[in-house]
Amino acid sequence: MTDQVDLILEQWDRERPDLDVSPMAVVGRLSRVARRFEERLAHTFAEHGLDAAGFDVLATLRRTGSPFVLTPKDLAASSMVTSSATAQRLNRLESQGLVSRTPSTVDGRGKQVLLTDRGKDIVDGALSAHVQTEHELLQGLDSTERQILASLLTKLDNS
């Protein structure tokens, strides 16, 4: 099966035979697949009034278990974004009534972020749809292929 990346590789091979462009076969396809996946997932999140960033915060709080509370610092570390980006996400989610910020019960100077009941309902619905979308995105692979791909991606991520 030939795709756009194959065409690009052929063109570079013709124009620059002195270069080994074989990494483009992987990186190009990863980029294309990632864009397509992000678009589909964004659509799923939008159906629940969320974007990927908001879903990330809500899902992080939800998976911590009851009472669904974290510090802004812990949320920033979990999502690997800056504290100012986390603050912007929290401002938006708080204005929608999906999270609330209260003084820390451990350190009165700090804040804690609590997933509201409404936020829990929203993220639970979005999560079910999100997982279904992921299943659909991976339907071309059987379970063994999914495990192999996940293992290879982990290896790349850790290299």
Domain boundary assignment for the chain: 1-46, 50-157
> What is each CA distance from 5 to 10, 132, 149, in whole angstroms?
9, 28, 19
* pLDDT above 90: residue 76: no
Average pLDDT of the segment spanning 53-65: 94
* pLDDT above 80: residue 33: yes
Residue 37 confidence (pLDDT): 96
* pTM attached to this predicted model: 0.85
User: Which fold is adopted by the domain 50-157?
Assistant: Arc Repressor Mutant, subunit A (1.10.10)
In angstroms, rounded to a whole number, what is the distance separating the alpha carbons of residues 61 and 108? 21
* Structure-token match 């063109």, residue found: 11
